[in-house]
Amino acid sequence: MSIQVNRLADPTVRAFVSAVNSHDQAAFQAVLTPDATMSDDGSERNIAEWTDREIFSSNGHMDVENESDGGLVLIVSYRNDTWGEMRTKWRFTVDGGKVSRFETGQA
């Protein structure tokens, strides 16, 4: 059972998920701080390269199954054209209404 994007608790995380699912790179960039960082399965990644490969050029999509920590931690059924579907955990750090860091990995 997934949670509708418009029902996610944190408005910044809601904007992040919405941008991913609509493949809107401009909206995605707008929700990040200029110096935002990220990790994937514990390894630091270049955010621009990773998001292009794992989200935008491969039709990434987030179906949120669960949220905790005020909406800053999501369990997501994530799918893209490269890897198919997998259960992932996303943890967000939000500063001033923008995502300054996100960490993702297998759930």
Please tell me the predicted confidence (pLDDT) of residue 1.
Answer: 73
Cβ contacts of 44 within 8 Å, gap of 6 or more: 37, 38
Confidence tier at 68 by pLDDT (50, 70, 90)? very high
Contact 106, 86 (CB under 8 A): yes
Contact 55, 80 (CB under 8 A): yes
> 7: which DSSP letter?
G
Please tell me the predicted confidence (pLDDT) of residue 10.
Answer: 98
Per DSSP bridges, beta strands 32-40 and 98-106 are: parallel
What are 104's strand-pairing partners? 40, 90
Both tokens assigned to 83: 């890897």
Instruction: Specify the pTM.
Output: 0.96
d(CA 106, CA 43): 12
Domain residue spans in the chain? 5-106
Please tell me the predicted confidence (pLDDT) of residue 34.
Answer: 96
pLDDT digits (tens, 9 = 90+) for 15-37: 999 999 999 999 999 999 999 99
CATH number corresponding to 5-106: 3.10.450.50
